[in-house]
Amino acid sequence: MHNTRYAPNGMVCSVDHLASAAGVAALDRGGSAADAAIAANAVLAVVAPHMCGLGGDLFALVHDGSVTALNASGRAGSGADPARLRAEGRTRMPHLHDIRSVPVPGCVDGWLALHARHGRLPMTELLRPAIGLARDGFPASPLMVAGARTAAGRPGGGDFAGVRAAGDRVTRPGVARALQAVADGGRDGFYLGEFGQGLIELGDGEYTAADLAAPTADWVEPLRVRAFGHDVWSMPPNSQGYLLLMSLAILDGLGLPGSPRHPAWAHLLAEAARAAGHDRPALLHEDAKDLLDPGEIARRRALVQPAGRLRVPVPASDGDTTYLCAVDGDGMGVSLIQSNASGFGGMLFEPRTGINLHNRGIGFSLRPGHPAEYGPGRRPPHTLAPALITRPGGALRTVVGTMGGDAQPQILAQIITRLLHHGEEPGQALAAPRWRLAGGGTGFDTWDAPDDVVLDLEEGTTWADGLAALGHPVRTLPYGGSFGHAHLVDVRPDGMLAGAADPRSLVGAALGR
């Protein structure tokens, strides 16, 4: 149930064994960890449309002697008009079936930027396994089946019409053509080719050709905090990565119980998450600065009480994603997360290729003047928050991340605390039951009313009675993907790699060489 895999010369962990195998094959051919990550993500873009794809966004952290961060999240089109949505009586962005919640997808730009800086193998070679699976067919995963039935009923969702059970063969010829267009023509082959033209048509004024001609990937300065004797890194805004780092910095100054089985352990971690995140709707936008001020961290740490649940002020105003990580024999590590936001995304399909489109625009605000207000060329607040850990001297320790909507920082805080503070093995830290803070039900509304959140506990925890006595509203849910799919590779001091894929993913794999 909690197997850790070991390898001396490279490792790839992902939610699907086909993707992990493609990544390891790239390493075997002399590719870098970046090559492995691209090859694995390309396969996931084919076989895991219920989590990610060419119609979604991408973030990555890379350790190659130093830590760099890649933001490949798309921007709203030139036709973005918040006044029109408000005139329709909307107070928040449409969740499904509305092109206005679809920023220009950044995934392909992310691959190309990562490859340009860190790749060794030709892009054609990296995309070949994904193209073959899309053209010739792949087995439907158990997690795809339920969503595929819904997707098949949407315009453009015909690729999934024959999916009835796990193992059914699925082909995606339009996706194969799109991947081949990237291999042959780079970004123009994709954004200005068949996919781009179809997106403009579907958008009906939301996008212009200039919107698609502008690259969406930027190398940015990562954020960092010191916690549990290590440096933990994540993405800057528009990512919510600061919530993970603030939570860990708060925890590093608290007296945690010796065992994660103690209810006080879950209590303190949950309260650190609430102290860090309660005002996220007001603070998180693409231009946010100074979110990890030490004085502010100390102020929020003081809010956490060992003997009870804190009350936090109401702010002024089931996600699906996939995470993968790769480490190569030269020590480069890549922590990459790629997402549709909600399951198959907005349940909209680009009509020419059948690529399902993300709904990451749900992160925008419709409040006039809000710094994250929906508007042309803007990036929405993002739940995607990959993580990377270095030792005090700067050497790579861990690449880690998870899916899980708003709960991503909460899940990662639990895993990282288990790994760094309690010394658990990767497989043990990933398999252990988790908690999450739950809001209104979409997986993206946790912080709308932070005092009303319920503490969801995964089946198998030992915390329920103790947390209820401390004032937490709790409920128990089945063990599974509602609590994320996390993966990690840990680099031991002697260079041996120890990794694990989340057992909740059912077909995930940590593969090494």
Give the tens place of pLDDT for each residue, 171-189.
999 999 999 999 999 999 9
| Per-residue pLDDT, 311 | 83
Question: Both 131 and 262 in a single domain?
Answer: no
Domain harbouring 293, CATH code = 3.60.20
Q: Strand 474-477 to strand 230-234: parallel, antiparallel, or no bridges (unpaired)?
A: unpaired
- Does 427 map to a domain? yes
Which residue, 363, 398, 419, sits at the end of a domain? 363
Question: Both 299 and 440 in a single domain?
Answer: yes
Confidence of residue 316 (pLDDT cuts 50, 70, 90): very low
Question: Both 359 and 459 in a single domain?
Answer: no
Q: Strand 218-220 to strand 396-402: parallel, antiparallel, or no bridges (unpaired)?
A: unpaired
Tell me how far apart the alpha carbons of residues 208 and 310 are, in angstroms, rounded to a whole number.
48
Convert the pLDDT of each residue in 34-77 to its tens digit.
Answer: 999 999 999 999 999 999 999 999 999 999 999 999 999 999 99
Residues marked active site are found at 321
Question: Both 410 and 273 in a single domain?
Answer: yes
Segment (H or E) for 7: strand 5-7
| Per-residue pLDDT, 315 | 41
- Quick one: which of 278, 331, 208 has its CA closest to 452? 278
- Does 374 map to a domain? no
Question: Both 397 and 255 in a single domain?
Answer: yes
Per the structure, the count of domains in the chain is: 2
| Per-residue pLDDT, 317 | 35
Question: Both 268 and 406 in a single domain?
Answer: yes
Question: Both 282 and 167 in a single domain?
Answer: no
Convert the pLDDT of each residue in 71-103 to its tens digit.
Answer: 999 999 999 999 999 999 999 999 999 999 999
| Per-residue pLDDT, 451 | 87
- Does 65 map to a domain? no
Confidence of residue 445 (pLDDT cuts 50, 70, 90): confident
Q: What angle do CA 384, 216, 127 make, to 5 degrees?
A: 80
pLDDT above 90 coverage of the chain, percent: 93
**Mean pLDDT over all residues of the chain?**
95
Q: Which value, in Å, is the radius of gyration of the alpha carbons in the chain?
A: 21
- Quick one: which of 353, 359, 358 has its CA closest to 55? 358
CA distances from 487 to 2, 207, 355, 362, 443 (A): 12, 35, 26, 26, 20
- Does 336 map to a domain? no
- Does 11 map to a domain? no
Question: Both 309 and 265 in a single domain?
Answer: yes
Question: Both 201 and 226 in a single domain?
Answer: no
Question: Both 169 and 146 in a single domain?
Answer: yes
Convert the pLDDT of each residue in 177-235 to its tens digit.
Answer: 999 999 999 999 999 999 999 999 999 999 999 999 999 999 999 999 999 999 999 99
- Does 141 map to a domain? yes
- Does 292 map to a domain? yes
Q: What is the largest CA-CA distance in the chain?
A: 61
Tell me how far apart the alpha carbons of residues 126 and 36 are, in angstroms, rounded to a whole number.
8
Question: Both 298 and 181 in a single domain?
Answer: no
- Does 331 map to a domain? no
Convert the pLDDT of each residue in 115-146 to its tens digit.
Answer: 999 999 999 999 999 999 999 999 999 999 98
Residue 318 has pLDDT above 60, yes or no: no
Domain holding 352, by residue range, is 17-52+70-213+342-363
Question: Both 106 and 182 in a single domain?
Answer: yes
- Quick one: which of 295, 491, 298, 325 has its CA closest to 393? 491
